[in-house]
Structures are given as C-alpha cells and as structure tokens.
Amino acid sequence: MKAVVQHRYGPPEQVLEARDVPVPRPGPGEVLVRVRVTGVNTPDWLTVAGLPRVLRLQAGLRRPKVPVRGSDVAGVVAEVGPGVADLRPGDEVFGSLWTKSVSAGTGTFAEFAVVPAGQLVRRPAGLSATEAGASVMSGLTALLAMRDVGRVGPGRRVLVNGASGGVGTFAVQIAARLGAHVTGVCGPGNVEMVRSLGAADVIDHTVEDYTRGARRYDVVLDNVLNHPPTATAAVLAPGGTFIPNSIGRAEGVFGGLTRVARAKLMERGPTDVRSVECDVTRENLDALTALLASGEVKVIVERTYPLDDVAGAVAHMMSHRTRGNIAVVVHTDG
C-alpha cells in the first residue's frame, strides 16, 4: 500500500515521502480500515518538525519511532482482528487511533490503517467521509473542553481564543448550542465566520488584546497560549475555569512548554485551571456523531489535499492560519 513515511525531522516537503509499505495486520480487538479521509492535527506537524526539540525525548531522538503520521480516520472496514464482533468488512466507520502513547500503531496518512475497535463508530449516511475524517481530534477536544471540563451551560460567558481554527470552530458552536454567551478571538479575515458559528461577540486579535479588556468570563478555552497564563487567568470571573489547550510556540528546545508548565503549576493554586485530553472512546464519538449528524454543529473544512500532498497539508497547518479543519482524501471510490 502507499503510505507517507517520515524518517527524520524537518520541513514537511523535505521529510515526508510517499512509499510502498506492507499493509498492517489487525491484532486482537483491532480493525483494518481502508482510509477514505484522514484529518491533519497539531500533533502531526509537531512530530514532522520535531519541535519543540524536547518532545523528541518521547517521539524518538533522531527520528520518530512511528514513521507514519496521522490519527483521525473515516473509511471502510477491510478486516477485523480476533474478538471484534460488532464491526464487519464493508462497514463505513470513523474514529481515531490517537492515544497518549506516541509509539502506538502506525498512522492514517496511508491507504490502510489499524485502529482499535473501541475507537471507531459507524458513520451515519448524513455525515460525509470528509466531515467525519476531519473532525475527530478537534471535535472531541472541543466537546470535552466545553461539556466536561468547562461544564458550559445556559448563560455562562465563554471566551474561545483561537476561535477560527480546528478546535475553535467546534468549541464556539458547541458552547453556543449549550446556551452560553460566546466570545471568539480570531484574526480579521475570520470575524464574520466566527460570528456565523454562534459567537455573540468577536474580538479581532490584531486590534484588541482580550487580556487587557474589562470583560470577565466563566470559562476561557485558550487554543493559542500567546499570552502568559496568569494574564489569561486574570480575565476569569470569580469561580471561572481556565482551560489551557496549546503548547504555544513550537520552536527551539522548549518553545511554549515553559508556559504550559506555568499553567500546570497554577492547577495547584486558587484559580480553577484544568487541561483537556482528546479521549477517543465510542461514547465520546457517539456524542460527537449526534451533534454533527443533526446538523447543529458543522464541520468547517477549509480545504482537502490528496495523499501525494500530505506535505502541503502539514505545511498549511504549520502556518497557524488554518480556517477550521483540513483533511487528506485518500480513497474516493465506493
């Protein structure tokens, strides 16, 4: 099968290469998926670049331990491993092979990928493969941040920094649907889009610094970490929750990780600071499916790329200007 392989760290166009590799085999509890569409997410480009460098301690010192990137997938079940009774070849599914362990599995930037059965659900007819494949990591992260970590409900004042990106476009819609008064922070070209997704107020970050404003919020989801965590926490209303959800700058040895460490330390202090994890379970995927299939939450897909141009897709993510989500279309046939 064709897969996009990475054997060293560096610029995507220099280190990503389409190669013929063996089709992986599903083990117990696993499913071989023929990939229709795969999403591109922040962990993908961080591992391509190997930045910040300290992350290589975990991902692999000289080269990534896992040579194929990608985790989100929409596709067709090709084969099931021993013990998988509720999925069959031919089923249209979506999900993700994402786990916290970077050495788990091989990625989805390939014609086939092996995914744990417990991290796949059936894709309903009303949800396209592109919408499904582009939505898993960013949609689940936004859902869990708003519903579980922020406990967003009617009347809560929610600020989403990075409202026009993958996680942000989902977070704005989900918070608005939960009845919150949403303020989105984005660049000038995305103000109207963020408003159309349900934000009552939109702050253009090139004009106004929200950490210097007088407005206070019950929940702040920070997808950018471009301000010191103490400055962001200062805009919380009493009892508010700050959800740092970015490693900030990805450069040098530590990049924005010192800010992440400071935010982590704040978890022990009086401010309610909590992180969000993209927890890929069938229950969470079902909740996301319900939101997407009902049409209440839309998947914003800025553009799609062919498998031969994964490098272009990853480079676009690295620009920090992605509008919603981007996806790689691998197979388009039935």
Ligand X SMILES: NC(=O)c1ccc[n+]([C@@H]2O[C@H](COP(=O)([O-])OP(=O)(O)OC[C@H]3O[C@@H](n4cnc5c(N)ncnc54)[C@H](OP(=O)(O)O)[C@@H]3O)[C@@H](O)[C@H]2O)c1
Chain residues binding ligand X by CB under 6 A are 41-42, 137-138, 141, 161-162, 164-168, 185-187, 190, 205, 223-224, 226, 245-247, 276-278, 317, 320-323
Q: Which is nearer to ligand X, 77 or 146 (CB)?
A: 146
Distance (Å, rounded) from C-alpha 220 to C-alpha 198? 16
Angle, alpha carbons 269-271-274 (nearest 5°): 95
Q: Which is nearer to ligand X, 108 or 246 (CB)?
A: 246
* Least distance CB 202 / ligand X (angstroms): 10
Q: Which is nearer to ligand X, 49 or 78 (CB)?
A: 49
* Least distance CB 164 / ligand X (angstroms): 4
Report the DSSP beta bridge partners of residue 308. none
Give the largest CA-CA distance in the chain: 58
Question: Which positions ≥6 away from 261 have C-beta within 8 Å?
Answer: none
Q: Which is nearer to ligand X, 235 or 317 (CB)?
A: 317
Distance (Å, rounded) from C-alpha 259 to C-alpha 263? 6
Question: Which positions ≥6 away from 122 have C-beta within 8 Å?
Answer: 87, 91, 92, 93
* Least distance CB 138 / ligand X (angstroms): 5
For ligand X, the nearest residue by Cβ is 165
* Least distance CB 20 / ligand X (angstroms): 30
Q: Which is nearer to ligand X, 44 or 218 (CB)?
A: 44
* Least distance CB 63 / ligand X (angstroms): 22
Closest of 231, 142, 160, 150 to residue 200, by C-alpha:
160
